[in-house]
Amino acid sequence: MSPKQQRGEATVELLLDAALRVYAESGEQGLTVSAITKTSGVSLGSLYHHFGSIDGLINALTQRWLGRLLTELAGALAHTRTARSGIRAVTRTYLAFIQEHRTASLLLHSSRADQQGMARGQELRDNQEARISAFAVWIQHHIDSGELAPLPQPLVESLVLGPIVATARRWLSGIEDMSLDEAAKILPDRIYRSVAAEPK
């Protein structure tokens, strides 16, 4: 990598880190060009050069953290043997991630991220294909083995992740009427029952 490319990557990192700090301090309304350039020390021209717009920067930040979350989930699945243990690992990993990275998780679960997901769903899935496909392969393997019900993969994905995401959103919104540790103990078996194959 040339020195110019290294400087470019360092600038991108500065801007992304600054955007997350601004988001932590001021929320979505605080994510302005002036706040990010002031926090990062990077020029306005550099921000537009690397991201095209403030929206481009925020989308890149969201994608960065989505990629990290999906990587951790794929890593957790790689160390499991059964569907039941996989669901337990995904639940614990997801809930631990939001607890450890609360600010980034607030961004990932924000209405802005939801709107992006609705407007650019296929494009976003394509960008994260390698990480998402690990989950799809895991689902198909356990459907083929007969442990999971022979349902469409997207439906199994929704049944597994839906309750976890709903719990995460509730906790992130400040409704802390149940601990995440308690949720990590209760959810996996309940989720497993919803996707397990019927006993023969």
Question: What CA–CA distance (Å, rounded) separates 72 from 7?
Answer: 28
Task: Report residue 128 CA to chain centroid gap.
Answer: 10
Question: Residue 132's pLDDT is what?
Answer: 67
Does this model's pTM top 0.95? My answer is no
b or e along 55-84 (b: 16 or more beta carbons within 10 Å of the residue's beta carbon)?
eebbbbbbbbbbeebbebbbebbeebeebb
* CA 199 from centroid of its chain's CA atoms: 33
Reading the chain (200 residues) residue by residue, the pLDDT tens digits are: 676 777 878 899 999 999 999 999 998 888 999 999 999 999 999 999 999 999 999 989 998 999 899 999 999 999 999 999 999 999 999 999 999 999 999 999 988 777 776 666 566 556 555 556 788 889 999 999 999 999 998 899 999 999 999 999 999 998 878 899 999 999 999 999 999 998 76
- The CA–CA distances, whole Å, from 125 to 65, 104, 130, 133 equal 14, 19, 9, 9
